[in-house]
Amino acid sequence: MRLPYSLVVVVLIVAFTSNASAQDLNAARDDQINRLKNYVVDAILPSGLVRDSLVLNGSSFHPATPDAAGFALLGLSALDHLGKLPDAEQRVVDILSAHAGQTPGVVPARSTDGHFIHFMNINNGAPAGGGWDASYSPISSALLVSGAQFARNHFPNNATIASLTDQLTNSVDFNAAVHPTNPGIFFDMTASGGGAGGTAQPWNEYMLVESLALKQPNNVRALAVKDMWLDVNNLPKRNFLGTDTLTDNPSAWAPAFWVQQMHFFNGDFRHSAAFETFFENHRQVDQQYSANFLGETFRYGLTAGVSPQGYNADRIGNHPNNVFSPEAVAAWGDMDTFLDFYNSQFPTTDPRYKYGLVRESATQPTWVPFDAGLVDHMFLLFGLVESIDANFFADRVFAEFIAGDFDDNGIVDGADFLEWQQGFGTIYDAADLADWETNYGSVSGLPLSATASVPEPNSLMLLLVAWATFAQRHRRWHP
C-alpha cells in the first residue's frame, strides 16, 4: 500500500529532524569535551597540583586546591575512557605523587591528622597566603581521596597509582572530622589535629566525609552517626509541588552541587536507589521552579558559582541576578537543555567560551563570567561523559559501606568474622556481630572487574559454630 504524499513528507521531516538533532547533540558534545580537555590540561600545574579556577580571557591567578585535584582525577579518567588524552594516566600519577608528598619540592600543607589546607601555593603546596582561606578542610581532603580511589579503579593495572592512592587514603583521619558528640562534620580542622569551629549537619556534601570515615579501621565516630547521614528516612527534606528534595535545613533549599557531587563521587549515594531518587527529584524541582516562578522557557540549574555580584551558592529563593548553570544541567543528564544552552552561547569562537559553556544571567544578558571554577567545568564534563556511557561513574566510584564488612573489601564473609573476632571487646561488640549476621553474603557495588563469591549457607553455619565456641571460651576467660 502506498502512503499518501503528505504523510510521506511528514515522516521524512520527522526522520530528518530526529537525525539532525542527534547530529547536533553529537557535534556540540564533542566540541565541549574537547574544550574541557583543554581546561583540565591547563589547570594541572608542573608541580602536579591543580589550580582551582582559570581566567577565561587573561592570566590565571587562582591557587591550587585538593578539591580541584579530586575533580581533575575523575576528569582525567573520563578523558582517558573517551580516548581524548593519551597521557592521562601519567597526569594522574603526577597529581597523586604531588599530594602524597612524593614529588621533590612539593609538600602540601596538612594538619597532623592528615587534612589538606584548602588553598595551596601552586608550586610547592604551602599555604597560598594573600588572604586565601588557610583552613584545613575535611571536604577538600575527601574529594581528593575519592578522586584517587576513582582513578585507581579506572587504571586497575597501574601499581604506582594503587600505591599512591593507598598512601593518600591511609594518611587522612576522616573520623577525626566527625564530631564526637553530635552527627556533625567539622568544617575545619586545626593544624595540630582535631576539629574546630562549626559543623555541617546532615544532609549536604559533607556526607562524603562520613562515607570515607566509615571505611576506616577506627570508625567508631562514623558508625555512631551513620544512620543520621546515610538513612534517607532520617534526613531533612524540603518539598516543592509534591516532590521531596534533600537539604540540611527544612526551611532552606539545597544547591544542586550537593546531590551532584555525591552522585559522581560517593558510592554510598550512587549505589543506593533511595539516594539516586533524590538526584532526579532535585533536577525536577529546579526545572519546575525556574519555569513556574522565574518564567524561564528552558534555562535552569541553580548551583554554586560566580554571579555579577560575586560567588554565591545559588539555590531556590537565593540566586542573585538569576544566574543559571549549563554545567549543572549537563550533570543531571538533560542533553536537550544542554543543547539549548549551547545554541544560546554562540559564537563559540569567543575566547570567554574557550573552556566550554559558562553561567548565564537572566537580569544581565551580556554578562559573561571573568573566570570559571574547575569544579563547575568538571560537572559539565561528567554529565557529557555519562550521557555517552551511563555506567562510567557508577562502575568506578568506591563501593558502598555494608555493615559487617569489617575488612572493607565489599563482601561480608568469613574473613569479616575473623576480623570481628580479633577485635571483639576493643573495636567491635555484639551489635557488630549482629550486623555481620544480617548482611552475611552481601556484596557491594564493586567497581570494574572486581568479583566476589557469595559464601555458601554451610559456611555460615560453620562460622556460627566457631562463634559459639569462641563465646564459650570468652565467658571462661571473663567469669
Domain total in the chain: 2
C-beta atoms surrounding 17 within 10 Å? 10
Residue 478, pLDDT score:
34
In a domain, 231, yes or no: yes
176 and 126 assigned to the same domain: yes
Residues 224 and 150: their CA atoms lie apart, in Å, by 27
| Pure H helices in 294-427 | 326-331, 335-344, 374-388, 414-423
C-beta atoms surrounding 261 within 10 Å? 27
Residue 467, pLDDT score:
58
Tell me which long-range contacts 290-297 makes (C-beta under 8 A, separation of at least 24): 290/324, 292/241, 294/322, 294/362, 296/324, 296/362
Residues of the chain below pLDDT 50: 1-3, 5-18, 20, 446-454, 475-479
Residues 343 and 337: their CA atoms lie apart, in Å, by 10
Residue 455, pLDDT score:
52
Residue 178, pLDDT score:
98
Query: Which helix (H) or strand (E) element contains residue 287?
Result: helix 273-293
In a domain, 192, yes or no: yes
Q: In the numeric block, which cell numbers belong to residue 443? A: 556484596
Residue 465, pLDDT score:
56
Final residue belonging to a domain, choices 353, 388, 423: 388
> What would the pLDDT profile of 289-307 be if each residue is shown by its tens digit?
999 999 999 999 999 999 9
Are 326 and 360 within 8 A, CB to CB? yes
Tell me which long-range contacts 226-234 makes (C-beta under 8 A, separation of at least 24): 226/401, 228/183, 228/202, 229/183, 229/202, 229/203, 230/268, 230/272, 230/401, 232/272, 232/274, 232/275, 232/278, 234/202
Q: What is the CA radius of gyration of the chain?
A: 24
349 and 464 assigned to the same domain: no
Are 259 and 278 within 8 A, CB to CB? yes
Looking at this protein, which amino acid is placed at residue 446? L
368 and 331 assigned to the same domain: yes
Tell which residue, 99, 202, 197, 196, has the closest CA to residue 147. Answer: 99
Residue 429, pLDDT score:
82
315 and 435 assigned to the same domain: no
38 and 148 assigned to the same domain: yes
363 and 438 assigned to the same domain: no
In a domain, 60, yes or no: yes
C-beta atoms surrounding 332 within 10 Å? 25
Query: Which helix (H) or strand (E) element contains residue 361?
Result: strand 360-361
Residue 440, pLDDT score:
87
128 and 70 assigned to the same domain: yes
In a domain, 55, yes or no: yes
Residue 411 bridge partners (DSSP): 443
Final residue belonging to a domain, choices 336, 370, 388: 388
In a domain, 259, yes or no: yes
> What would the pLDDT profile of 232-282 be if each residue is shown by its tens digit?
999 999 999 999 999 999 999 999 999 999 999 999 999 999 999 999 999
Quote the domain boundaries for residue 432: 414-477
345 and 455 assigned to the same domain: no
In a domain, 393, yes or no: no
The 3-state DSSP class for residue 56 equals coil
379 and 428 assigned to the same domain: no
14 and 65 assigned to the same domain: yes
Are 412 and 441 within 8 A, CB to CB? yes
Specify the CATH number for the domain of residue 162: 1.50.10.140
Residue 451, pLDDT score:
40
Residues 146 and 152: their CA atoms lie apart, in Å, by 10
> What's the per-residue H, E or C state across 414-460?
HHHHHHHHHHECCCECHHHHHHHHHHCCCECCCCCCCCCCCCCHHHH
374 and 453 assigned to the same domain: no
Residue 69, pLDDT score:
98
Contacts of 292 (CB under 8 A, 6+ apart): 241
In a domain, 183, yes or no: yes
In a domain, 175, yes or no: yes
433 and 335 assigned to the same domain: no
